[in-house]
Amino acid sequence: MGHDKLRKFAENKTFSCLLQPAAEDVLDRSGEDAGLHLRPHAIRGHWNEKMFDAARPVVLELGCGKGDYTIALAERHPECNYIGVDIKGARLWKGAKYATERALGNVAFLRTRIEFIGAFFAPGEISEIWLTFSDPQMKSENSRLTSPLFLERYRGFLAPGGRVHLKTDSRFLYEYSLATALANGLTILCADTDIYGHSGLVPESFPPDLLTVQTFYEKMFLEMGLPITYLSFLLDHDGPFVHPDFDDGYWRSVEGPRRTFSHQPAPKK
């Protein structure tokens, strides 16, 4: 491990806005089967009192990377508290350091695996969820952050009427997520396959700052001329979530090989 990473990991321990629980803090290994069993973390239900300078609606970004989207939304909307979640400590360092140096009392970060997310939030504790440029996980449906498995986890802590936002360059993930929402009868608030292609006319269904707050990868994909999609829906569904009738093979072929994070998309076969 490089010295710069070690320096960041050491500095991360000094940031009061960054929570870094060990996996053992939430994993319950007492069961006999090999499934994922979690026990509640001490922060569950107490984010507003323990991590922020005031009680406000809490917005969650999953897979936040360096935290640029979380930070930008927090600076523009001081009426809400924002939590960015990622497993990469070296990435979270940047957002946590920025929030610390500027004394942003409405920003927090959580370093954990996203499949552990249910251990950290109480029912109704989160008002909105943002999924920004998530890995489409083309070969593993249950790993997609809009799969029935993850929607069930979100329902455990998303407040009634809370929105799930998906912003992605992946048409595969967008179409899969839309199919999942439709299969479960979820209320779709917005579904757009090219949010920057409206000739300056911003649809009323777009949330504030959808076009003006951009992640690092979003800016890169826009420079490459790739369309950015947006889907927003409510988790207004009772009972088990079902899997959609989705043609993985077709949408995988439409998207082609997953593009690399360089200045050029991966060549199609």
Rounded to whole angstroms, what are the CA distances from 161 to 148, 155, 180, 250?
18, 11, 18, 33
Among 25, 28, 53, 135, the active-site one is 135
Concatenating the DSSP letter of every residue in the chain gives --HHHHHHHHHHTT-TTEE---GGGTB---SSSSS--B---TTTT-HHHHHSSS---EEEEES-TTSHHHHHHHHH-TTSEEEEEES-HHHHHHHHHHHHHTT-TTEEEEES-GGGGGGT--TT-EEEEEEES----TT-GGGSTTSHHHHHHHHTTEEEEEEEEEEES-HHHHHHHHHHHHHTTPPEEEEES-TT-STT---TTSPTTTTTS--HHHHHHHHTT---EEEEEE----S--------HHHHHHHH-SPPPSSSSPPPP-
Q: Are 27 and 37 in contact (CB under 8 A)?
A: yes
Residue 199: left (phi > 0), alpha (psi -120 to 50), or beta? left
Known active-site residue 25: no
Judged on CB neighbours under 10 Å (0-12, 13-18, 19+), 228 is: buried
Tell me which residues are annotated as active site. Answer: 135
